[in-house]
Structure 1
Amino acid sequence: MKNCQPSILPLIYPENSWPPLVNNAIHSVQLQTQSPLPYIATIAMSVIAETVQGLAYVQIPSGPICSLSVSVLAILDSGGGKSPVLKMLRKPVVDFEAEMQEIYKEKMQVYRTSEKIWKITDDEYAKALRRAITKGEDVVTVEERIVAHQKVKPEKPPYPVLTYANPTIEALVHGLAKNWPNAAVVSDEASGLINGRLAQGLALLNQLMDGARVSVERKGEPDPIIVPEPRLTCVLALQPGQLEKYFNRTGEDARDIGFLARTLICKPFVMPGSRNVSPVEPDPQFLDHFHDRVKALLKQSVGQDGLPITKKRAVVFCPEAAEAYVNLRQQIETGLMVGGYFANIKDFAEKAARHVAKLAAMLEIFVNDSYVIRTDMLWCAMSLINWHAEEFKRIFAKPDELAQPFQDANTLLPWLHHFMRGRTNRYLMKNDVLKHAPSSLRSKARLESALQVLVNQGQLGWNVLLQGKMHFLDLFPALPFDMYALQIAIEHYRFKKKSFVR
């Protein structure tokens, strides 16, 4: 895990860490939806988890086994394309679920016929037993037939539910136990979930996501509901205001219980007005390849009897990857020290290495059809999870726990954008900023430290002209360089400076 400081805005997303099969699909969806790439990639990760969670588990080196289920939470403003992205990436999951439900209908017809025949035979055995008892005849033979008949009682086929939208925790447990043990809770407007009854069972939800055996007693029911090996992925998206309301209402419950530590967060930065609305038709093969792989693996998770397979395969580490993984855990442990990278997100740190192991295992299966984690895939997973660790830190670390340059950057960034509107230009002269900045930042050293924080994250450009005599800032460094706008900014600054001197 990279040893870096928290950013005020998101780090540049490490899109190239994804293998081409996934990366191409992510970019295909982005071209069609114009949604933020980190959001699309996070949803793609959850779809891969849905796909492989019923097939395997990962064996941690010298540690426990972990399910391949994940939980993701995207914090995105309205209009960010939450629904279209989910619909496009989850299409093969939805189609597979629909196909399984059609097969279920056929099975139910066979089941009803078999059950009817079985009941008729059962009634006749009951009559034969009553006659034998009434007449004082030998009942042993009849009883043996009744016992044998009970053993062949037709079983109702489970209804394949792979997707839950807004379940209670009781309904979710019941569905995983009685219907299908591999499923996902999916909501692109998750405010109803986090403020509903599901949120009241976060501890139980944690167990389901961890793949732990769950036993729930119900009032009025003689036997508990048992889910021996649940596989549950959570795919949640909501607007920032809704999350804030949740924390205002519940305090730190979700973090204290460990739900957020188990969740990969993304809160992508969206620059209004920057989307390209021109019609785009990307090559369909990239998304088709992703869909085909999802469908193929989902079919592997179902046995010849049409039921979810019960024996899952173990994903293991090769020796080199195991050594690298142990080193990663040591880095995380070191980062827990006072002043360390993980010092103020210890809850996430406890799960960070497992997130890496899960993602590496998921990608090996999905991309390489392999059940051995190699070092190259481990590095990919580490890079991606590092980004999510940075997001967690950026969103949930308390401001007073941040080093001074990062607190200053948090103050400076909105001020710069406000100051930019007054100058009507994306380019600002650094000396002009130094002269007008908030009083706490009118020290050259302190201002430059705050600027460097933003530059390091790729959110601000800091350039030099005239052999180092003039420094200018670019508030939109991702946009193409605009010489005309820069010349106007320089002339405006020089004019203001001359007017001030006079």
Structure 2
Amino acid sequence: MSGNIQRIREAAAFIPADDRDTWLRIGMGIKSELGDTGFDLWNEWSQQADSYNTHDARDVWKSIRAGGKVTIGTLFHEAKANGWRDDGISRERTLEELAEERRVAEVRAAQEEAEVACQRATTATKALAIWKAATEAKGDHSYLLRKHVSPTATLREIEADEAATILGYPPKSSGEQLAGRLLVVPVKQGDRLSTLELIDGDGRKAALPGHGTKAGGYWASEPLPDGDGDGLTLLIGEGVATVLSSKKASGHLAIAALSAGNLPAVAKAMRERHPEAVIVILADLVKATGAPDPHAIEAARFVGGKLAIPDFGADRPEGATDFNDMAQQCGTKAVERAMASARAPAGAPRQTGATDAPAGDCGGNDWPEPQPLAVKVEAEPYPTDALPDAIRAAVEEVASFVKAPLPMVASSALAALSLATQAHADAKRLEKLHGPVGLFLLIVADSGERKSTCDGFFTKIISDYEEAQAEAAKPLLKDHKAAIEAWEAKRGGIKDQIRQLAKTNKPTRGMEAALRDLEHEKPEPPRIPRLLYADATPEALAYGLAKQWPSGGVVSAEAGIVFGSHGMGKDSVMRNLGLLNQLWDGKSLTIDRRTSESFTVRGARLTAALQVQEPTLREFFSRSGALARGTGFLARFLVAWPESTQGIRQINPDAPDGPVAWPHLAAFHRRIAAILEQPVPIDDDGALTPPMLPLSPEAKAAWVDYHNAIESELSSGGELYDVRDVASKSADNAARLAAQFQSFDGKGGEIGACAFEGASRIAAWHLNEARRFFSELALPAELADAARLDTWLTAHCKREGTPAVSKNRVRQHGPLRDRARLDAALQELCALDRVRIRKDGKKIAVSLNPALMGIAS
């Protein structure tokens, strides 16, 4: 048993504990294996996370049911995915040793990746050298003559000896050395030459070595055109001779995948490059059975393409399998007819082992029109062009490196802007309508979306400003400490005198008056700017704004201040929601305390930029009931619910460490620093008194139009009726953001029409996001799950260029990890003819209705 415990400890050391879902699943696996005795092991591993909390760990462990569905195999699987190697030997190792093993594994993986990249670069360099040395391919090449095809401009030839000199070794195929004139076939991945296929006169073939240089690579009979492929037909087959024969018969551009297994990947790449093109997959026949190759069927299904199958009639010659063989046996006209007869592969023979969908699955081949999902609001692209140029450039620069969802990156930039500007201006919308410019921003996203990273890029200048101000204030703090000690000594002396007088029954009025006077002379601490609060209760935040600095913000990737804190329990939620509402409004508020000092917040300004996971937000709604929306709390937020980028955040091997310089981010920082260095208008009571920025006449007219357009949709039956609480604050948020844009540009004076136009577009985008999120939040759980799954499947299939995705991948990367909820959502989508479940042996795939991808069924 002890050996198994040590093996679990070693494996766990390779798994990061920062992601809460992973943290919980590892706990489930350990408890299923070790029972309650496993707590110490899990707790020890948990402590590597920055967010570790002893009480939270104990509470969560108690809630985990022993013998659940998550087993210890989950832990070992996660560990292997993170570099752990199970050598079957377990011995006592320290945490330091385990950390070193993990580091070594990471270094080894990085080295292997670097070696592969080096191999690919070397192969591409040699391929280019051979291509440049090669000459135009001639029609008398033995291979072309034997295949009865003519060369195209994208083929060349070179003598085998010359190729060997460039390569440093003779090219070989299956141990046999290639000889004579070699046909040079350039293999591209995207638009980049990755390798070559060399073919000699006897038909022997060799590709230049290099890991992964041929995967997804293709040869095209002519240069690929630009555009989306509208009106274009692409033929995709296995070999050079096959596609040349097909091109000759049909006149269409033809592409060779150069192996059967490569067909799906090449088809996918062509679908992404030319989404409107008609794709025809040229199947080879399996020699033994005469059935179309399964890879060709898969490729056609993968991209919603057609399948063309060679037809040799009843007596197929022995060894005849492809369209080149058919051209030679039956003639070009027969190939042309086969091309014209290409159809979607639904009725084609299926792969060996494939079975029809069992009863209860939604199978079938003909797709009806998909039925609409109730109240589904489509996502809109984030309007980056609405941002001021300097902010837009910084956002795009950071997004290109971090690869987080663009709305999240933009929200991080707006949070920094709000923190810097809110102390220096208020916005005046109309004569009696004016107030703060601080923003409340809410990102609804899973853990791991890199919000903390994004925040760090944009708020670093604010952190630097805080540190500089704290350093400069050290002498003032020392002076204050000395003044306080002197004051306390005086106070102590007076109190001693009062006690002495009282003991002898002498009058104390004079000393009491002196004590009262002294209380009014108590030295006030110097106000030192503190702008960033990572996590605090609403009351602690209010105290900091009242006593330390009247402008601040909560920038948190965990949103603990609001949605998960003890301060949002049933007994205190109403009070704390009201407190945060008043801080957003800039109103004064008094906090009465029984056991410590009461205080009043006056003229404070607050920014909030929070990320919350959807389950946490749903739980918050269930705890607070209708209060969160009934009090107008969530209505104040600019909500974003972006699509996750996890799983597609590939690192560019040419620039793994990011840009050498960040010119646009540096320019953003300089402007924020300049705003922060401006004198802050604070009165004697510590309240902010920022100047008012009015809307220019043009901006005011635009604001009135924006307000009225929204107002007209708030009544029953209106487009915004279900989110009328959020919509009613949208015009206010647009004016706030416009004032910030005006301040950032340094123009001062009135808020211009240009600033308001950009701000109103961003506010409108967030309003649409609120509609998306809150309309689904109001749905029954099963319908909300179906809507979320539908959105993810559609986006995934469009992005990957595939009409189907394995159910395992849906569960691992989609929005629903719970098996029962996923199955219920899939059945709902099946009933609406939006997806189908297909089984192929033990594999289960989810097929998307082609109409949802813009493809006719």
> For the superposition of Structure 1 and Structure 2, which TM-score range results when normalised by the shorter chain?
0.7 to 0.9
Task: Tell me if 1:213 matches 2:213.
Answer: no
Q: Which residue identity lines up with residue 377 of structure 1 in the other structure?
A: A
Distance verdict in 2 for CA 1:29–1:110, change over 3 Å = same
1:421 and 1:14 map into 2 onto residues whose CA distance is 20
Is 1:10 paired with 2:379?
yes
Match of 1:164 in 2: 533
Counterpart residue number, 1:266: 640
Query: Between Structure 1 and Structure 2, whose CA radius of gyration is higher?
Result: 2
> Is the Cα contact below 8 Å between 2:681 and 2:690 reproduced in 1?
no
Point out the more displaced range, 368-377 or 153-162.
Answer: 153-162
Counterparts in 2 of 1:41 and 1:328: CA distance versus 1, 3 Å: same
Superposition deviation, residue 423 in structure 1? 10
Question: Residue type matched to 2:422 in 1?
Answer: Q
Q: What per-residue deviation string (whole Å, max 9, x for no partner) do you get for residues 294-344 of structure 1?
A: 122122253699997743110101112112211222111111133322111
Pick from 441, 460, 475 the counterpart of residue 91 of structure 1: 460
Match of 1:250 among 624, 636, 649: 624
Give the secondary structure class of the aligned counterpart of 2:638: strand
Distance change >3 Å, CA 440–CA 284, structure 1 → 2: closer
Mapped pair 1:53 → 2:428: no
Residues 1:240 and 2:609 aligned together: no
CA distance in 1: counterparts of 2:440 and 2:737, whole angstroms? 12
Say whether residues 1:107 and 2:482 are aligned partners: no
1:76-101 superposed Cα distances (whole Å, 9 cap, x missing partner): 22221111111111101111112222
- 2:498 and 2:378 mapped to 1: Cα distance? 78
Per the TM alignment, residue 154 of structure 1 is displaced from its structure 2 partner at its CA by 3.0
Question: What is the alpha-carbon distance in structure 2 between the residues aligned to residue 373 and residue 18 of structure 1?
Answer: 15
- Per mean C-alpha deviation after superposition, the further-off stretch among 245-254 and 314-323 is 245-254
1:225 aligns with 2:603: no
For residues 123 and 411 of structure 1, what CA distance do their matches in structure 2 show? 69
Paired position in structure 2 for 1:204:
579
- The residue that corresponds to 2:354 in the other structure is none
Identify which range, 102-111 or 26-35, moves more after superposition: 102-111
**Residues 457-496 of structure 1: matches in 2 within 5 Å?**
462=854, 472=855
Tell me, yes or no, if the aligned pair for 1:54 and 1:309 is still in contact at 8 Å.
no
> Which position in structure 2 is the counterpart of 1:469?
none
CA 1:189–1:116 in structure 2 vs 1: closer, same or farther (change >3 Å)?
A: closer
Contact 2:639 2:769 in 1 (8 A): yes
Deviations 1:230-266 (A, max 9, x none): 2111111122232233223333331122111001111
**Does structure 2 conserve the Cα–Cα contact (< 8 Å) formed by 1:30 and 1:37?**
yes
Distance 1:182 1:330, change over 3 A: same
CA distance in 2 between counterparts of 1:379 and 1:281 reads 32
- What's the CA shift for 1:108? 1.2
Q: In the alignment, does 2:637 pair up with 1:298? A: no
Distance 1:386 1:421 in 2: 26
Name the residue aligned to 2:697.
319
Q: 1:378 to 1:461 in 2, by over 3 A?
A: farther
Aligned-residue RMSD, C-alpha: 4.2
CA distance in 1 between counterparts of 2:496 and 2:483 reads: 20
Report the alpha carbon displacement of residue 345 of structure 1 after superposing the two structures with TM. Answer: 0.8
The SS at the match of 2:732 is helix
Distance 1:367 1:308 in 2: 28
Change (3 A) 1:202 1:91: same
Distance 1:289 1:416 in 2: 38
| Alpha-carbon spacing, 1:105–1:349, altered in 2? closer, same or farther (3 Å) | same
Amino acid at match of 2:556: S
Is residue 372 of structure 1 aligned with residue 721 of structure 2?
Answer: no
Contact 1:301 1:308 in 2 (8 A): no
Task: Identify which of 35, 40, 48 aligns with 2:404.
Answer: 35
Distance in 2, matches of 1:119 and 1:299, equals 35
Classify 1:216/1:130 alpha carbon distance in 2 versus 1 (closer, same or farther; 3 Å). Answer: closer
Structure 2 distance, partners of 1:160, 1:392, is 33
What are the equivalent positions in structure 2 for 1:444-459 lying under 5 Å apart?
A: none
Structure with the higher helix share, 1 or 2: 1
Structure 1, residues 31-86: CA drift from partner, whole Å, max 9, x if none?
22111111111121111111111111111213322111111111122221111111
Name the structure 2 match of 1:79.
Answer: 448
2:665 matched residue in structure 1: 287
For 2:471 and 2:685, locate their aligned partners in 1 and report how far apart those are by CA, in whole Å. Answer: 14
| Amino acid aligned to 1:20 | D
Residues 301/461 of structure 1: CA separation in 2 closer, same or farther (3 Å cut): farther
Tell me how far apart the structure 1 counterparts of residues 490 and 609 of structure 2 sit (CA, whole Å).
48
1:115-134 equivalence runs, <5 A = 115-116=484-485
Q: Distance in 2 between matches of 1:249 and 1:304?
A: 39
Q: Pick closer, same or farther for the CA change 1:425–1:341 going to 2, 3 Å.
A: closer
Letter in 1 for 2:601: V
User: 1:389 deviation in Å?
Assistant: 0.2
The Cα shift of 1:118 comes to 5.5
Distance verdict in 2 for CA 1:116–1:190, change over 3 Å:
closer
1:377-404 alpha-carbon deviations (Å, 9 max, x no partner):
1110110001000000000025889xxx
C-alpha spacing 1:421/1:461, structure 2 compared with 1 (3 Å): closer
Indicate the structure whose relative CO is greater, using CA pairs within 8 Å and at least 6 residues apart: 1
Shift of the 408–217 alpha-carbon distance from structure 1 to 2, 3 Å rule, reads closer
Shift of 1:159: 4.9
Q: Which runs of 5+ in 2 are unaligned?
A: 1-373, 806-828, 835-848
How far is 1:12 from its partner?
A: 0.7
Q: How does 1:381-396 map to 2 (within 5 A)?
A: 381-396=759-774
Matched, 1:339 2:717: yes
In the TM superposition, what are the counterparts of 1:343-422 in structure 2 within 5 Å? 343-398=721-776
Indicate the residue corresponding to 2:554 in structure 1. 185
- How many aligned residue pairs are there? 430
Partners in 2 of 1:419 and 1:119 — Cα distance?
71
Aligned to 2:431: 62
Partner residue, 1:26: 395
Deviates more, 1:297-306 or 1:246-255: 297-306
Amino acid at match of 2:446: D
Pick closer, same or farther for the CA change 1:337–1:282 going to 2, 3 Å.
farther
Structure 1 stretch displaced more, 112-121 or 9-18: 112-121
TM-score (norm 2): 0.45
- Name the CA distance, whole Å, in 1 between partners of 2:515 and 2:801: 90
Shift of 1:287: 0.6
Once the two structures are aligned, what percentage of the paired residues are identical?
A: 29
Report the Cα distance in structure 2 between the residues aligned to 1:50 and 1:439, rounded to whole angstroms. Answer: 49
SS at match of 2:610: strand
Deviation, structure 1 residue 376: 1.1
Q: What is the distance in 2 between the residues matched to 1:105 and 1:306? A: 22
Distance 1:83 1:420, change over 3 A: closer
Tell me, yes or no, if the aligned pair for 2:404 and 2:645 is still in contact at 8 Å. no
